[in-house]
Structure 1
């Protein structure tokens, strides 16, 4: 969709709106599904912002959700709040929606790593250790401290959403000037992120007892070349069949089930 098709007015989201959206994002994980991960949650979280920008009954709201609002995303919750602010700012400033989608897809993986490292790998064990130490001393301050700290961390999503919104407003001119390059780069990064997630969701390996010439394990051969090579090849083949050969998803699913049963009966998987 071209930028000229958007509403002409901008800056419709007030500080109160951003605060409410940040508090709404505290329920971000409630819409989790295995198909889109946090996709439905992201769309639900930004919905009031889109309605404020375009009008509650505007078709632009559903168009924005269809384009980038409910597609696959899996990131850390504070990072998600930041991305919500960034996305809403770009939408409000009439950025191209394909650019918004690619920016969101390209950033959520790297933002997840940053958010996990800060909040769940650093602040969680530190706060838990402090709380456990207080509890060991039979102090009621232990659970109170832990609950208060993580309530504060939950409310801090308001700050992250506002930060993303402010960054989006300030960077919108640079983003639009380099939209073509950014769209291509973000798209490539997004594909890389999804590709890197393949080993987490696809398991494809030969049993240890399956050996080549009775000596070398078949699986060890693939592992010595590139770890997790088989899942990547398997997904690549499925993508080729789906994209190039136009085979339906239902047929692919049935074929995978049949293939898995056959390989299991042969003792090869």
Structure 2
């Protein structure tokens, strides 16, 4: 290794800087054309400054990372670390064309996004929310506090580990068993089942819907809710969840519109003593 390379050796501190930049900017300057490309390039700066000697070299390296990039921010961190390692290898004389950088990113950002969305965006959030909501409904302020603290700790912890792991693996990350198509397929399938189970449990526990419709008089009053409970306890919350899912997933109605619709129906139902 040359004296220049020894002087500009990339350290763990530099990699932590990469991780912090990515954590703080992964959705900044997001655009429809290239999505997270600006955040990716900006995150590489601490490493690129160490492995380039002129502004022209730094500019070319940054341009190399302005191509399309999009993945799940947390699970995708090993890929960022791997690309940083490739930049170090390139600075030491290895012939790594720009197309190889793009090929590595294109090959892994999709599978990592699928795994990350299943693990963090759905299952992980659902598990943490079930814990936090349970405490919050009992009037315990630790519910939202614990959710925020645990979510932040997991996100930061995995992101920093992911950068270090990816840097250690370098281009070998393409052959890593952890991110192999078979492993990702099995993991996403398992997480999907777990996520649906958790969401189902949350729906049954936290969604309450009962009707006040009744007919008759005196001792012969018949309550519609008793009929529903005899058919299947919790049938009205179940129907509500399925209707909301259908409107959102099949009719592409936004979450905000559905929330407003629920508020209006709830208010009207309460006024006419339907619910």
Deviation per CA, 1:53-99: give whole Å up to 9, x if none: 214x43222212222x1111111001332211000101101133321
Corresponding residue number in structure 1 for 2:35: 37
The answer on whether the counterparts of 1:22 and 1:159 sit within 8 Å (CA) in structure 2 is no
User: Highest Rg: 1 or 2?
Assistant: 2
Query: Which structure is richer in relative contact order (CA contacts within 8 A, separation 6 or more)?
Result: 1
Inter-partner Cα distance in structure 1 for 2:100 and 2:5: 20
Match of 1:9, SS? helix
Distance 2:4 2:114 in 1: 37
**CA RMSD of superposed structures (Å):** 2.3
1:136 CA drift (Å): 0.9
Post-superposition shift, 1:8? 7.8
Map of 2:170 onto structure 1: 168
Mapped to 1, the partners of 2:47 and 2:100 lie a distance apart of 19
Which residue of structure 2 aligns with residue 121 of structure 1?
Answer: 122
Matched, 1:54 2:52: yes
Match runs of 1:216-231 below 5 Å: none
TM-score, structure 1 normalization: 0.57
Corresponding residue for 1:23? 20
Cross-structure match for 1:86? 82
Instruction: Give the match's secondary structure for 1:47.
Output: helix
User: Secondary structure, in 3 states, of the residue corresponding to 1:25?
Assistant: helix
Gaps (5+ residues) in structure 1? 1-6, 176-269
Query: Any idea what the Cα deviations from partners look like across 1:91-116, whole Å, max 9, x if unmatched?
Result: 10113332121111121111100111
Q: Unpaired runs of 5+ in structure 2?
A: 91-95, 176-275
Distance in 2 (CA, whole Å) between partners of 1:58 and 1:153 is: 37
Report deviation, 1:123.
Answer: 0.7
Question: What does residue range 57-76 of structure 1 map to in structure 2 within 5 Å?
Answer: 57-67=54-64, 69-76=65-72
After TM superposition, what 4+ stretches of structure 1 lie above 6 angstroms from structure 2?
none
Deviation digits for residues 140-173 of structure 1, max 9, x if unmatched? 110111110121133121111111111117x39x
Question: Aligned match of 1:12 in 5, 9, 16?
Answer: 9
Report matched runs for 1:95-244 at 5 Å: 95-156=96-157, 157-168=159-170, 171=172
